[in-house]
Amino acid sequence: MKKLLTLIIGLMSALTMTQAETTPNNPLAGKKVLIAYYSRAGQNYVSGDIVNLSVGNTAALAKKIHAITGGDFFEIRTVKSYPTDYHEATEVAQKELREKARPELVGDLPDVSSYDVVILGYPNWWGTMPMAVYSFIEKSGNLAGKTILPFCTHEGSGMGNSVRDLKKLCPAATVLPGLPIKGTRMYKNDPTVDTEVARWLQSCKK
């Protein structure tokens, strides 16, 4: 009887594992996934007001995506931090964009060669990705051969030109349609974001 019970429990746990690996909630099951994102906590523009974000909107969205896909999680951070003040930050970012700057990044970057899929997140800055994301991509071999799933948070411009810029920067990668989520919705914890994230990931399934 004890042996039979052990066998049943063993079979049940094997079944649970298989179910977890192929859960319909994770359309990327079976793929090696890296979520890499840049996000800036501090003052930001939300629904016409300047508010102080303790966690950046893109970071919050990255966590939601990670809860579905799992995989490795990497925050792109710059050695020199941006001003906390919103207006000052926009000025620094605009100058960097104009000068095609490549800000230095903190620490060792993940070895992207071992991943099938890179889910790449960033805030829309002046209509494209922050220059730190350009630094990350270039230091990661322009993500050649990878499937890139871009997502961004913004305050009205959606993905802007970022997907076009990404395709130009990563000609040997497959760039799938992006997920733009308004930062205000993250700040206000809009529960419909979860459905949108799940639908987007489902649409990226190959």
Ligand X SMILES: Cc1cc2nc3c(=O)[nH]c(=O)nc-3n(C[C@H](O)[C@H](O)[C@H](O)COP(=O)(O)O)c2cc1C
| Residue closer to ligand X (CB basis): 150 or 183 | 183
| Residue closer to ligand X (CB basis): 96 or 201 | 96
What is the three-state SS of the chain? CHHHHHHHHHHHHHHHHHHHHCCCCCCCCCCCEEEEECCCCEEEEECCEEEEECCCHHHHHHHHHHHHHCCEEEECCECCCCCCCHHHHHHHHHHHHHCCCCCCECCCCCCHHHCCEEEEEEECECCECCHHHHHHHHHCHHHCCCEEEEEEEECCCCCCCHHHHHHHHCCCCEECCCEEEEHHHHHCCCCHHHHHHHHHHHHCCC
Please pick, from the candidates 27, 71, 123, 178, the single residue that binds ligand X as defined by CB under 6 A.
123
Please pick, from the candidates 93, 119, 133, 143, the single residue that binds ligand X as defined by CB under 6 A.
93
Total residues in contact with ligand X, by rule CB under 6 A: 24
CB of 161 to ligand X, least distance (A): 10
Residues 154-193 that bind ligand X (CB under 6 A): 154-157, 183
Residue sitting closest to ligand X (CB)? 183
Question: Contact between 83 and ligand X (CB under 6 A)?
Answer: no
CB of 156 to ligand X, least distance (A): 4
Question: Contact between 57 and ligand X (CB under 6 A)?
Answer: yes
CB of 69 to ligand X, least distance (A): 19
**Beta strands 49-53 and 42-46, pairing class:** antiparallel
CB of 127 to ligand X, least distance (A): 5
What is the three-state SS of 97-141? HHCCCCCCECCCCCCHHHCCEEEEEEECECCECCHHHHHHHHHCH
| Residue closer to ligand X (CB basis): 70 or 127 | 127
Question: Contact between 150 and ligand X (CB under 6 A)?
Answer: no
In the stretch 4-23, what mask flags binding to ligand X with x, by CB under 6 A?
Answer: --------------------
- Residues in touch with ligand X (CB under 6 A): 39-40, 44-45, 53, 56-59, 86, 89-90, 93, 123-127, 153-157, 183
